[in-house]
A and B are shown apart, each in its own frame.
Chain A
Amino acid sequence: MIPGMTIPGTTDPTAAAGLLAGRRILVTGGSGGLGAGICGVLAREGARVAFTWHRDADGAARTAAACGPEALCIQADLRDPAAPGRVVEAVEAAFGGLDALVNNAAFSEAVPFILLDDAELDELMQLNLFAPMRLARAALRPMIRQKHGRIVNVSSFVGSRTLPGPVHYAASKGGLEGFTRSLAHEAGPYGVLVNAVAAGIFEGGLKHTIPAHHQARYLQACALGRFGRPEECGELVAWLCSDRNTYTQGAVIVQDGGTTG
């Protein structure tokens, strides 16, 4: 059997226990917003969830409670280049391996590009782009070893569309999408599927960094006429992390309720 695939027509052993039964999954930025929603769905689908958090201890406690007793809660400042390796090691040590990585942690603030100094550009890129790359590099070792793995990068619709938004944030997400496509080529032959979700505006996500009139314009253009809910992003991520996904590779799936499509 080709690693990472189930054969159509055969019985899916995970069906009763959940889409992700027994899968060991690391989610970054799990204490709130999209990350919390993703963790909740993954846990519901039977995954053993590890997640990172940085500042919001209360949010981390809520996510941990929602993910059940097996949840692994890791405080980490992912801007530190050494942190991603340590985080992956911790998950492997606790769970005995790693089946999927969800790069969700990101930062944004609505400051015009011309006012950003080098330190601010560097800080945002460290968290939004370099940390996912470092985490993926660390996670690929066990995934390649087991010839099976899933990496899902949470991007944004500003990463590949001409939209008003913080320039450095959009650049980091554009970079993340390029990273997703190329890594898919490099890791695909070893059973690792790499994809990205380009998220629109979600409740509890980075919505509060977007001025109200831009939010209103989004809603006007949105075919569904509403913001997304974090668990809706979680459903898509869960599928991409699962064995049901066998042929979606290097894709950047826009999930914005039909706003930019």
Chain B
Amino acid sequence: MLPILPSRRDRDGAFLSYTRSICPDCRGLIDAHLVLKDGQVVMQKRCPQHGAFEVLVSSDAEYYLRSLTYTKPGTLPLAFSTPVVHGCPLDCGLCEDHLQHTCSPILEINDKCDLTCPVCIVRNQQRYQMPFEAFTRAVDGLVEKEGELPLLLLSGGEPTLHPQFFEFCDYVLRGPHQGRIKRLLVSTHGRRIAQSPGFAEKFKASGAYASLQFDTLKPGVYPKMRGVELLDMKLACIERIRELDIPTVLVPTLSKGDNDDEVGALIEFGVALPQVSSIVLQPMAHVGDGGDGYHRTPQGHRLTMPELHQLIEAQTGWLKADAFHPVPCSHPTCYTATYLFRLDDGRYKPLPDFVDIRQYLDAMANRAVMRTDESLERMLLDSITELWSATKVGEDASEVLASIKGFLKETFSSRNPLTPDQIERVTEARSKAVFIHAFMDAWDLDVTRLKKCCTHYVLDDGRLMPGCSYNNLYRQQDRRFFPEARPGGLVSIDG
């Protein structure tokens, strides 16, 4: 009788690609594989000390693979800050190997906040306030590296609590770089706008946009996600925004099982509010003093891009999943977006419904804000021609054509002379953007995504840190927030 030989088993998924990540326990740098498994994409990695980890990266493998097929060359910044010595992500700042310039810079001006949100992705120590000189140094360094920027986001902490907050706004919008930074956004919980009429009026006068954390329209959700019920305050803030006509970006953090049933309602809310220019949905990342411990099993609480697209379609009915496309300036798993165009009858229609998708993606490449340039013009002209000449036109075609014509008459007419800035405002008023921005945590951190990151923290020493690199690896060494921190604490376990 022949001996029974042990039979070999297949692995439980098909290897897709190799990358590097970190151990969720010790943060050491380790190898990772992206694997196709059960129609999904998962990251599998193994730490020599802490064992194997697996986390969901995309709930739809087909979408994931398709999303990788469109890519554009990144744009070089005018200057880098750090040389390549150890390789990604150990040389951040940006290093010369970073593949994208800074589209969305974030400048943290304090780490003081009057909330302790369980979903917070930073580590507020309640002691740092950026001195004015450090602020100007950081802004100067940013402009030196980018020349012009579509936006700058002031963050914290709660930036509106900084005693020199309005001086900072003035420096950005009316200081020596006036006109170089097109929009100043302020990441805020909204309490000062809601509760202090004087502050709200000064905020409006400052010219800044409120980037308002706004997670829910229902009572009972804020206590879990933000530690205290904030619904009345948030709605009061919205009223103030409406009254004073404060330009606003609505920023819901989405946590699976907490408020993912509201994503459609939140989009509808933002679309209906004239002051809201864009809605930025941020799936929960398990990083920071709050986020770290929000779920006992973070790998079981992932809200990935395709899943969110499907939720939006299911909950709105009109905003289809296929209207969302990766923003080519970053990695497709980090940012997707759709732009909505307001028709003359007040309805919003996703641009991808009536423009060529390739042109659309080209027009959106390497930028965070829609503007009237050559690629947008080409896209609109081709779209007009296609819609006009089509033998079978959809029910909305004539409405779309009339609305585009109305938009052009509003923007480029000798009867209504507008400056380039005014044209940008009209364009913004005629459109809204819905972004989904997925930050990474120690579970799904992927250096492939980091390398093309365009959301960068601005440090006062001149460095620009890819957002997820900073949050997961560098923040705790930042002596502004952690004066006792030892520099150079990053290690490569298997390298």
Contact = CB atoms under 8 A, between A and B. Distances in A.
B377 interface: yes
Interface in A184-212: 206, 208-212
A151 to B, nearest CB: 23
A112 B419 CA distance: 21
A55 B417 CA distance: 12
A89 to B, nearest CB: 27
Given A211-B372, A213-B373, A111 B388 contact: no
Contact of A114 (B377, B388, B408, B420): B388
A106 interface: yes
A122 interface: no
B384 A209 contact: no
B131 to A, nearest CB: 38
B7 interface: no
Contacts of A107: 414-415
Interface in B356-412: 372-374, 377, 381, 384-385, 388-389, 401, 404-405, 408-409, 411-412
5 contacts: A107-B414, A108-B413, A109-B409, A208-B414, A209-B414
Contact of B414 (A108, A114, A213): A108
B418 interface: yes
B374 A111 contact: no
Contacts of A106: 414
Contact of B384 (A108, A114, A206): A114
Contacts of A17: none
A208 B412 CA distance: 7
Interface string A59-97: 000000000000000000000000000000000000000
A159 B417 CA distance: 22
Interface string A108-145: 11111011000000000000000000000000000000
A115 B384 contact: yes
A109 B415 contact: yes
Contact size class for B?
Answer: 20 to 34
A115 B374 contact: no
Contacts, number: 55
Given A114-B388, A115-B405, A212 B414 contact: no
Given A55-B415, A208-B414, A208-B419, A112 B374 contact: no
A111 to B, nearest CB: 5
A115 B384 CA distance: 8
Contacts of B413: 108-110, 209
A110 B413 CA distance: 7
Contacts of A210: 412
Nearest to B417: A208
Nearest to A110: B412
Q: Which of A55, A106, A108, A209 has the most CB of B within 10 A?
A: A209
Contacts of B417: 208-209
Interface in B398-455: 401, 404-405, 408-409, 411-415, 417-420, 423
A139 B388 CA distance: 43
A212 B384 contact: no
A206 B417 CA distance: 8
Closest 3 CB pairs of A and B: A110-B412, A109-B413, A213-B374
Given A110-B411, A110-B412, A212-B373, 14 more contacts: A55-B415, A106-B414, A109-B409, A110-B408, A112-B384, A112-B385, A112-B408, A208-B412, A208-B418, A209-B412, A209-B414, A209-B417, A210-B412, A211-B377
Q: Which of B401, B404, B411, B412 has the most CB of A within 10 A?
A: B412
B388 A109 contact: no
A212 B404 CA distance: 18
